[in-house]
Structure 1
Amino acid sequence: MNKAKIIEELNRHKKQPYLDYRLKEETESFTNKLFYTLFDVNTPVAENLDILAEKFSQLVDLACWDLERPCTKVWDNYVSCLPEVLEKLNLDAEAILSCDPASLSIQEIYMAYPGFYAIAIYRLAHELHKQGFPLVPRLMTEYAHRQTGVDINPGAEIGKSFFIDHATGVVIGETAIIHDNVKVYQGVTLGALYVAKSLQKTKRHPTIMSNVTIYANATILGGETVIGENSVIGGNAWLTASVPANSTVFHTPEIKIKTAANV
């Protein structure tokens, strides 16, 4: 097959006329500038909000979003939420500092903790998701996922003072609900019992009540599964049913130790 034929065939199979990867690149740029606007002391807030407004307008155009409301109105609504988002993120950072004995300073939390970064981008994406702008929030959280190993769907609902320790491998599904003061360790999955497109409009992921700790590699599945407040879910536990408040759930492995006498 000659080059001209190859080009013809490739063009014939490119079936997504609106698949413009500039949207992904511009979303990542928007996300970085938004994060710096909230946290970096050398980034001027007033100037950057104007830049962000322009970037948001470009994202709307690239996403081919069919707006029921004017773009400026959506952006104004979003910006008005940012002070509350920043307040929540400061509480998240303080929760990490107070819970993790390895943390040395609040500056370290903001700059070096992947769990905090993943929560920050989730909270920023979630507010945009609530405005009814679906693709960009998903690209924002996927950008954080790629950098941190934490996959939080922007549709999830997460309360105050959320702590993800070590971060890598955490998965939080679209319809998960997490209340206040919850601690989650690496490898935790809050997922669905099974996947079917017909379940798109249903609650598929668990509810975690306040003051719950979920240790590494625990898996909690199902939209009707509720973990009661003040409970502790041990590492490697597998749950598909609700747990009452003040419970301790743990997985007991079978361990066999070989010695020289019985090898």
Structure 2
Amino acid sequence: MNRTDILNQIQKNVERLSASDLPEYKYIPLHQKPSPSVHSLREVMLLLRKVIFPGFFGSEQEAQVDSIQYYTGVYLEKIYDLLQEQIYNGLCFEVDRCCDSKDRASRIAIDFINKIPHIKYLLSTDVKAILDGDPAAKSLSEIIFCYPAVHAILHQRVAHELLKLGVPVLPRIITEMAHSETGIDIHPGAQIGEYFSIDHGTGIVVGQTAIIGNHVRLYQGVTLGAKNFTLDEEGLPIDVPRHPIIEDYVTIYSNASILGRITIGKGSVIGGNIWLTHSVPPNSKVLQTRAVEDK
């Protein structure tokens, strides 16, 4: 084909792809509002890692006792500047008018800064829980620097705090960044207690309304999911509690699927490859000792 014919074909597709009123495109809206920047959110998370784990992801100078306060202040200011802009974009993402969103974004960003010490505390307990439960781990430092579980849990805990502060879109972006990097998919809405540990982690899925207590350990491939959905009159799913409640000191081994709004009682052990859709009392052991055949 000559260049003129090629350009004519391209122009036909330009006209078709640019038309927003064609019936076959009705589920792809025209987006004309500010959008969050994944690049900026990645920078926020990198800075948060430096603040929460000083010395691990920055220079040696940053880890000096007489320098930590200075660098922490610099990084927190950068986090605020980046985050308030992204929060503003998030607040505008699905509304017709942003109105007072700039002031609101600023207040939320500061509220989040005030949550960072608590996030650091929770991550400290998570790192200790991983060390206590993994004989292959040689030190806390190795876990912080190498383990994908720490990366995924950090992202989820940050996203969860932003979600509680009423920030749309950004929490999901942040957890999906960790999901794509680690294979660990934890929804920002999930409530997770202290001393949470993940062993290996690949393939773990934790749903939006899951509640996880303290000292809970999940192995690779575990799903805390929904058994079914409640639909409204238009056939669309309703956002109601539909994921499991995992009480304190529960261990769930690899590839177990815990589905529905059920409760796994305190101190229970759920074995690998279990499909569980009913609650179990405290101190239960649910194990599959033989193959289950359909009759």
TM-score when scaled to structure 2? Answer: 0.81
Q: What's the offset of the Cα at 1:226?
A: 0.2
Distance of 1:5 and 1:252 partners within structure 2 = 63
The question of 1:167 aligning with 2:201 is answered yes
Q: Cα offset for 1:50?
A: 1.0
What secondary structure sits across from 1:50 in the alignment? helix
Partner of 2:264: 227
For residues 177-256 of structure 1, the aligned pairs below 5 Å read 177-198=211-232, 199-223=237-261, 225-254=262-291
Greater alpha carbon shift after TM alignment, 235-244 vs 38-47: 38-47
Say what the alpha-carbon RMSD is for the aligned residues.
2.0
- Between the aligned partners of 1:75 and 1:53, the Cα distance in structure 2 is 6
Cα distance in 1, alignment partners of residues 15 and 50 from structure 2: 44
Q: Deviations over 1:52-99 (max 9, x none)?
A: 111112213433254496222111111111101101101100111111
- Show structure 2 runs of 5+ residues with no match: 1-7, 21-27, 63-70
Q: Does 1:30 align with 2:44?
A: yes
* 8 Å contact kept, 1:190–1:219: yes
**Cα distance, 1:153–1:36 mapped onto 2, change above 3 Å:** same
Deviates more, 1:11-20 or 1:34-43: 11-20
Flag the 1:166–1:11 CA change in 2: closer, same or farther, 3 A. same
Relative to structure 1, the CA distance from residue 38 to residue 253 in structure 2 (aligned partners, 3 Å threshold; closer, same or farther) is same
- Runs of 4+ with >6 A deviation: none
Partner residue of 1:9?
A: 16
Output the amino acid matched with 1:36. Answer: K
Q: Describe the shift of the 1:36–1:200 C-alpha distance in structure 2 as closer, same or farther (beyond 3 A).
A: farther
Provide the aligned length of Structure 1 versus Structure 2: 254
Post-superposition offset of 1:10: 1.9
Normalised by the size of structure 1, how large is the TM-score?
0.90
Where in structure 1 are there 5+ consecutive unaligned residues? Answer: 256-263
State how far apart, in whole Å, the 1-side matches of 2:140 and 2:87 are: 35
1:47 aligns with 2:47: no
Q: Secondary structure at 1:58's aligned position in 2? A: helix
The change in CA–CA distance for 1:87 and 1:203 in structure 2 (over 3 A counts) is: same
